[in-house]
Structure 1
């Protein structure tokens, strides 16, 4: 695998952890869950952009 693919996989893994955080915190801290959701969306967007550019 090339470096570009490793970065893409890493960003998707980070997004997965962030989505897990959204799921865990949704009932107790909705503001934090929304922030984590935005960060997860940015990580997925970054992964897609990195994959398309490479």
Structure 2
């Protein structure tokens, strides 16, 4: 796995964890949803940038 894929996967995990933390702190819904969307996109990008065919 390339380093940028690992970095994107870590970023996605941090964003999803941040969304959970914001949920526990009763943050506005739009902020929580934006963190979840950004985290999911980062995780998706991590898996799409892995060279599977090598």
Q: TM-score range by the shorter chain?
A: 0.7 to 0.9
Runs of 4+ displaced beyond 6 Å: none
- Which of these residues, 4, 8, 29, is aligned with residue 5 of structure 2? 8
Higher helix share: 1
Deviation of residue 52 (structure 1)?
3.9
CA displacement, residues 3-53 of structure 1 (integer Å, 9 cap, x when unaligned): x61011000110011011100112222210100000001001100100146
Gaps of 5+ in 1: none
Q: CA RMSD in A?
A: 1.7
Number of matched pairs: 51
Gaps of 5+ in 2: none
